Amino acid sequence: MNELGLPDHVDTDALQGALDAFAIETPSWGYGDSGTRFKTFPWPGAARTVWEKVDDAAHVHALTGAAPSVALHIPWDRVDDYAALRAHAEAEGVRLGAINPNLFQDDDYRLGSICNPDPEVRTKAHAHLRACGDVMRATGSRLLSLWLADGTNYAGQDDLAARMERLEEGLRVAYEALPGDGQLLIEYKLFEPAFYHTDLPDWGTAFAMALRTGERARVLVDMGHHALGTNVSHIVAFLLRERRLGGFHFNARRYADDDLVVGSDNPFELFDLFTKIVAAGGDARELAYMIDQSHAIEDKLEAMIDSVTNCQTAYAKALLVDRGALARAQAAGDVLGARRVLTAAFETDVRPLLRIWRERHGRPADPITAHRDSGYGARVANERGVGSGGGGYPTNA
Ligand code: PSV
Ligand code: MN
């Protein structure tokens, strides 16, 4: 054990360097009011505008040092002057990150967006994708992060093969809208809002579509978008090997979607997932780590800080795995020996390491306590009030 309580095989400088390179994007939509389809409980001080969402993201980054960018959802976060928004973000110490087209909230999209049977609706969806490409250019974003609500509710409602054609065409439009160095992240989801079929239901479909679309099309894994019991780490290992993993939407869930603090319910799963990334080596640095959570009853800022630090903790633990010992146990067929190597890393207390990392970066040793002591929550509650909207989600559907 070294002075930080870490095992002797660990190179502490390399560890600090890896943590320096680890950045998690937070979502603008996590700072506004949001809820379930049953009720949106207004949160005192919830951000009302994208400018305030950027302020909140900057607060989370100031406290954690690990959340330097904020994702935008268009049109929820549409502004007239993206250069001004970009300047505002940079003045606050963050960047504008992935652009998320919203192809699910217009009345026209009742039967889908790019897969809609009506060519006029598809044309409208294509135009939105192109407009999002323009937003990328104006904001300096390199990621177009696409999730579709497209699907059907009943057998026979639409021709599935025809929808696949339309899907491919729409993805091509999105790809062509990218700036030169841009990437298209294709996000899948098992079900919801459609209940018979979803046009992009799983990683396999997203992977096949990425292959057909182009080199810079990758799969985005949202942890809440799988059937219960799915081994997400296995999917991650496969996509890494194929060099088609684009990134993550981190969250935790027990049942359906994705709105709990990542790592709150499934810390070992999160750690295991990061071990696959660490094992894959250098390319893993290219991945887009993003949080996709919009909390219904929690303190929004505290939940976001908790989420960022939980990811950092899981990643730090994954970096501690004694890979040599693991490889030896695997080669020897030592089933439980291999597991012991993993659990030794998982059970190591990385809090001293992270405290030191934060202090080196001028951040508080304990971000949540610092947030609670900062007065930021009370200040924004006072300035912004309660129930002023700004979430993007429909209120009290
Ligand atoms: C859909 O459930 C999703 O995960 C997509 O990423 C959306 O863009 C996001 O949630 C916001 O609602
Ligand atoms: Mn998502």
Tokens of 381: 């509650």
Q: Find, among 281, 326, 283, 309, the residue nearest to 61 by Cα.
A: 309
The residue-averaged pLDDT of 50-70 equals: 98
HEC profile for 118-134? Answer: CHHHHHHHHHHHHHHHH
pLDDT of residue 387: 86
Evaluate whether residue 35 is within a structural domain: yes
Evaluate whether residue 393 is within a structural domain: no
Evaluate whether residue 392 is within a structural domain: no
**pLDDT surpassing 80 at residue 283:** no
Number of domains comprising the chain: 1
Q: Which ligand is nearest to the CA of 249?
A: 2
pLDDT confidence tier of residue 396, bands split at 50, 70 and 90: very low
d(CA 257, CA 145): 18
**pTM (2 d.p.):** 0.96
pLDDT confidence tier of residue 10, bands split at 50, 70 and 90: confident
- Regarding predicted confidence, which is higher, 349 or 282? 349
**pLDDT surpassing 90 at residue 55:** yes
Q: Residue 90 is part of which domain span?
A: 16-384
Evaluate whether residue 9 is within a structural domain: no
Evaluate whether residue 26 is within a structural domain: yes
What SS3 class is residue 197?
Answer: strand
Q: Find, among 230, 267, 263, the residue nearest to 346 by Cα.
A: 267
Pick the residue whose CA is nearest to atom 9 on ligand 1. Answer: 292
Contacts of 219 (CB under 8 A, 6+ apart): 185, 186, 187, 188, 203, 206, 207, 210, 239, 244, 245, 246
Instruction: State the burial class of residue 60 (Cβ atoms within 10 Å of its Cβ: 0-12, 13-18, 19+).
Output: buried
pLDDT of residue 397: 35
Evaluate whether residue 7 is within a structural domain: no
Residues with CB under 5 A from ligand 2 (ion): 222, 249, 292
* Percent of the chain residues past pLDDT 70, beyond the cut: 96
Tell me the CATH number at 104: 3.20.20.150
Q: Residue 117 is inside which H or E element, if any? A: none
Tens digit of pLDDT for each residue in 206-265? 999 999 999 999 999 999 999 999 999 999 999 999 999 999 999 998 888 878 999 999
Evaluate whether residue 5 is within a structural domain: no
Of 76, 143, 184, 187, the one to substitute when testing ligand 1's pocket (max ligand atoms within 8 A of C-beta) is: 187
What SS3 class is residue 113?
Answer: coil
